[in-house]
A and B are shown apart, each in its own frame.
Chain A
Amino acid sequence: MKYVLLHAVDESRLEDPLPVDLDVELDAWIEEMVARGVELDGARLARSSDATTVRVVDRHTTVTDGPFAETKEQVAGYDVIECDDLDAAVAVASAHPTTRIGSIEVRAFDAGMPDPEVPEKAAEGKRRYLMLVCADMRRAMAAEAAAPPADQAPSPDLHDAPDQPDEGDDEIDRWIADAGARRLYGWPLDFPNRAVTVRRVDGRVVTTDGPFAETKEQIAGFDLLECTDLDDAIEVAAGHPVAEGGVLDIRPLLV
């Protein structure tokens, strides 16, 4: 199964560049996880003050400065990993040095995600952005909790997140076609109420239920974009079906 590790860090305590020991530990973790075939993709992100959020209201695109939610901890990086099950994913997260300075939200991707193929460097003249697809999923989660028997729970996906369950898939397909070569990969995530968050308390790893921050809108999926500039990325974001009703948060990758 594929999981994402969302590294959530209190930026006021985040040193730039990272302290040497942390940097060494990070390199060791990446090396090991790549060697084991666990790590499929990952990157550090620019600070949340460099984030830009895009919403579409009545077909009008609104661009604002800053991340989708003003939380104490902000997503500072991500890893896409392949593990047998959640326990294995949590073990991989627990070994990551982020647990020393913040927390890691472990969340499964929806089934069927292909292996991401990401060239090491961005194409000439292009920049990479992680686009967080965020939506208020409380209603969808409540509906799921109320309805089906556990053995045949429908695969929850971000298409159902806003109030347009019917044409969601078509719209996503159309958007993916429009984004074209600017989208390296992307996939919806499992509901945030099934996330596990890993942090270290007094040196011991502690896992808790749920996402790293309880916000109205939660990350429902993400796409890795390769664009000429921010305007290019904004255009891709504005075309996403979730932009109407939800919010897209564009984070430059740290280079």
Chain B
Amino acid sequence: MADSRDAVALSFAESWGRLVAGLIGWCGDWDLAEECAAEAFAAAVPVWERDGVPDAPLAWLTTVARNRARDRMRRRTTEEAKITLAVADASEEVAAVDEEDIPDDRLRLIFTCCHPALPMPARVALTLRTLGGLTPAEIGRAFLVTEQTMEKRLVRARGKIRNAGIPYRVPPPELWSERVEGVLAVLYLMFNEGYAASSGEALLRVDVSAEAIRLTRSLVDLLPGEPEVRGLLALMLLTDARRPARVRDGHVVPLAEQDRSRWDLDLITDGARLLDAEPPWGPYAVQARIALCHDVAVQPDDTDWVAIAELYTLLPATAVTELNRAVAVSMAHGPEAALPLVESLADDLADYYLYAATLADLYARVGRRPDAVTALETAIRQAPTGAERRLLRERRDALLSCLDG
């Protein structure tokens, strides 16, 4: 019994995105597609638990969902619904659907969910809902908003797709690279949000990072010619590998102090395998390589900081990238070499807590402890979460006790 329930759950995870994507392609109506997909799964649970999962679960689900959709469309009276029905009727007549005949529309779906004309939070929510199959309540919990708020966000997003005519398609060549970039940005944001939230208090939250990884994995299959998709997946896996050691007793543990025996070697191997050996590497691949440099160091002292500092020069030069590069330089060539680099970023990063924290670290290492304490005070004021503030306070108190002694 438990086995068949697991099988149903597994089939859900695997089929939801393709089912919804196919239904939208079939009838053009996002709300209807989602409602009927959910109903098809609800109908499947008792039947599959009793009889086992069918050989072609997607075909089974598609058939049930299309029949439900057809019933609903017939009951509608508006002109628009009649048009939808006519379109759907023309393309499909019989009830039973062959698995091979169902096109994989997930690419169309993800490009539409990540369209730049939608607000970023809506892109993330829509992708998690329509491709990932998370419920509005689950997504709401992950982003600390109520189910109603999340439902409203989704309704508005689907409304905009319909009203503004956002196309349901894979973008043409002239839009290709920027739209792929847009999809990757949504997935990376999703991963990071989930990652940050995982250090928080709520255990109930759905694992959005895991969902981001799952979606990126399927994107790797759907877009085999895009090295940056693999780069992003590698970056996610190589970051996620450190998750078991990242939080201890509710505190974020800095990289250098993490228990490296708890890092997930399988994920590190998987991530490393995804990376191209030879340049050119896109920004995600470069960041993945940096993560890999950390992941393969058995002890913090083993870290190849020279390589990391070099890799940072391959990233688009933003102030934050420069700050990270400066940290690597300080590790490779000493804090004196890095201080001028960091100090030159003062104007750009005046409000960024990690700037002040980095400066404090360098001051401490060159023996300028009072300056370090002052910088830490700034960082504590600017830090966004309680966990980060706690960590910074501990550092400040340690420095103060050194000063007293």
Contacts and interface: CB of A to CB of B under 8 A. Distances in A.
| Chains A and B come from one and the same complex | yes
B156 A230 contact: no
A127 B165 CA distance: 8
Interface in A64-98: 64-66
B81 to A, nearest CB: 14
Interface stretch (B35-43, B112-120, B280-288, B394-402): B112-120
A65 B165 CA distance: 13
Given A49-B156, A49-B160, A50-B159, A229 B165 contact: yes
Given A49-B156, A231-B171, A231-B175, A63 B116 contact: yes
Contacts of B163: 46-47, 50, 252
From B118, B119, B164, name the one whose CB has the most chain A CB atoms within 10 angstroms: B164
B331 interface: no
Given A49-B156, A50-B159, A230 B118 contact: no
B117 A63 contact: yes
A52 interface: yes
A243 to B, nearest CB: 15
Contact of A252 (B116, B119, B164, B175): B164
B166 A229 contact: yes
From A63, A66, A250, name the one whose CB has the most chain B CB atoms within 10 angstroms: A63
Contacts of A64: 116-117
Given A49-B156, A50-B159, A50-B160, A229 B167 contact: yes
Interface string A29-53: 0000000000000000011011110
A46 B175 CA distance: 26
Contact of A231 (B118, B122, B160, B167): B167
A16 to B, nearest CB: 11
Contacts of A63: 116-117
B200 to A, nearest CB: 27
A50 B156 CA distance: 9
Interface in B155-174: 156, 159-160, 163-167, 171
Contacts of A231: 166-167, 171, 175
A230 B168 CA distance: 11
Contacts of A252: 163-165
Nearest to B182: A63
B29 to A, nearest CB: 16
Contacts of A66: 119
A230 B119 contact: no
Contacts of A234: 117
Given A52-B164, A231-B175, A65 B117 contact: yes
Interface in B3-35: none
A49 B157 CA distance: 9
Contacts of A51: 164
B175 A230 contact: no
6 contacts: A63-B117, A64-B117, A65-B119, A227-B165, A231-B175, A252-B164
Interface of B: 115-119, 122, 156, 159-160, 163-167, 171, 175
Interface of A: 46-47, 49-52, 63-66, 127, 227-231, 233-234, 250, 252
Given A63-B117, A65-B117, A127-B165, 20 more contacts: A46-B164, A47-B163, A49-B159, A50-B160, A51-B164, A64-B116, A64-B117, A65-B116, A65-B122, A228-B165, A229-B166, A229-B167, A230-B115, A230-B164, A230-B166, A230-B167, A231-B166, A231-B171, A234-B117, A252-B164
